[in-house]
Amino acid sequence: MADRTESSTVINAAPGAVLDVIADFDSYPEWAAEVRKVAVLSEDGDGWADQVEFTLDAGAIKDTYVLEYDWDVAEDGTGVVSWTLVSAQVLKAMNGSYTLEASGTETLVTYRLSVDVKIPMLGMLKRKAERVIIDTALKALKKRVEA
């Protein structure tokens, strides 16, 4: 990834519980405010989502896009869930990852994201948009897992 933004949070749950929420794409519209609709298009042999279509309404950015996922995770839920953009209307790139690390009874989650759009936009505005997406996603993920 070229320029990217990242942030971390500690969630009061085991990595497996955090991973379960990340992998439950059908529930995203319930807790990820900008996500309007999700459809799992394909799964790998282990039942992990391989390609997922999202319909997003984030104010200035409205798009339907497909992400391809890579699940490099251990039995306990630690590891990295990463994704790359397959297709979109407005987005040119949306590559990112969640890294889950066990920390006692808690999980340290680090979210990395790089976004690019087809319309011209200053780099600092892209980074600001990434920061808003990451902060919102981490807060929502933490709230959902700890509920």
The model carries a pTM of 0.87
Burial level of 104, CB count in 10 A (0-12/13-18/19+)? exposed
Using 50, 70 and 90 to split pLDDT, how confident is the model at 1?
very low
How many residues does the structure list for the chain? 147
Range of the domain at 22: 5-146
Q: What is the pLDDT of residues 94-126, one digit of tens each?
A: 899 999 999 989 999 999 998 877 766 656 666
pLDDT(129) > 60: yes
d(CA 21, CA 27): 8
Here the CATH number for the domain that contains residue 139 is 3.30.530.20
Return the pLDDT at 123.
60
Counting the structural domains of the chain, the total is 1
Q: What is the mean pLDDT of residues 50-77?
A: 91
